[in-house]
Amino acid sequence: MEMRKNVALIGMAGVGKSTTGEKLGERLGYRCVECDELMTEEATRRGVNKFLLSDPEFVALENDVILTLTDATQTIIDTGGSAIYSSEAMAMLKDTSVIIYLKDSIDSIEQRFIARGMPHVVGIENKTFQELFRERTQLYEQYADITADISGHPALDHTIDKIMEWLEQTQN
C-alpha cells in the first residue's frame, strides 16, 4: 500500500475522536486538526451559526472545510460525525489519509450525549437514534481502512497502542 500522509478519524459524535486524535498526534509527531473547530471558524467568517444550518447546509460546510485540508501532511484529521455524508470529502480523505473508524456501542454514545448534551446531529430528523446509528455505522464501515472498536477496551492508551500497531502493519 502506498504511504498516505495523514490519519483521518471518523465515528459518531461523542466517540472520542478529539481525545484520540490529540494523543495519536503526539505519538506520531503529527499535528491534530479538529474539523468542528474549523467549521465554527468558517461559519463565523460566513456570518452564520453552524448549529442553525439545515442538514444539507451543515454537510456542505463540513465538506468545504475538509477539502481545505487536501494538501495537509502529517496531520490527524478529526472529522465531524457527519463527514460520511459527503462523498467528495470522503474521497479526498481516502486518497490522502488512512481512515480510522472509532466504533463504540450505541449505549456508550448515548450516555456521553446525556452527560455532555446532544450535539448537532445531521440526519436525525424523522429517525430514532438507533436508526441513525445503524445508518451511520454502515457508512463508517464502508469508508474505514481500520476499525478501532473501543466498546470492549475504552482505555485511551489501549486504543492508541492498537492504532499504532495497525498503522505500522498497513504502511509496510
Q: How many helices (H) and strands (E) would you count in the chain? A: 7, 5
> For the chain, what are the domain ranges?
6-153
- 34-56: pLDDT as tens digits: 999 999 999 999 999 998 999 99
- 128-151: pLDDT as tens digits: 888 889 999 999 999 999 999 988
Greatest alpha-carbon span in the chain? 45
User: Does residue 33 or residue 128 have the better pLDDT?
Assistant: 33
Its pTM stands at 0.91
Q: Which of the listed CATH numbers 2.70.98.60, 3.40.50.1820, 3.40.50.11540, 3.40.50.300 matches domain 6-153?
A: 3.40.50.300
Strands (E), the chain: 6-10, 31-34, 75-78, 97-103, 146-149
Say how far apart CA 42 and CA 69 lie, in whole Å: 13
15-24, 37-46, 154-163, range with the lowest pLDDT: 154-163
Under DSSP, is residue 102 helix (H, G, I), strand (E, B) or coil? strand
Identify which of 106, 102, 46 has the alpha carbon closest to the alpha carbon of residue 79: 102
Mean pLDDT of the chain: 89
Dihedral of alpha carbons 66, 79, 170, 160, sign: positive
Element spanning 131, H or E:
helix 129-143
CB distance 162 to 27 below 8 Å: no
Identify which of 94, 124, 96 has the alpha carbon closest to the alpha carbon of residue 109: 124
Say how far apart CA 107 and CA 112 lie, in whole Å: 9
pLDDT value at 60 more than 90: yes
pLDDT value at 1 more than 80: no
pLDDT of residue 111: 82
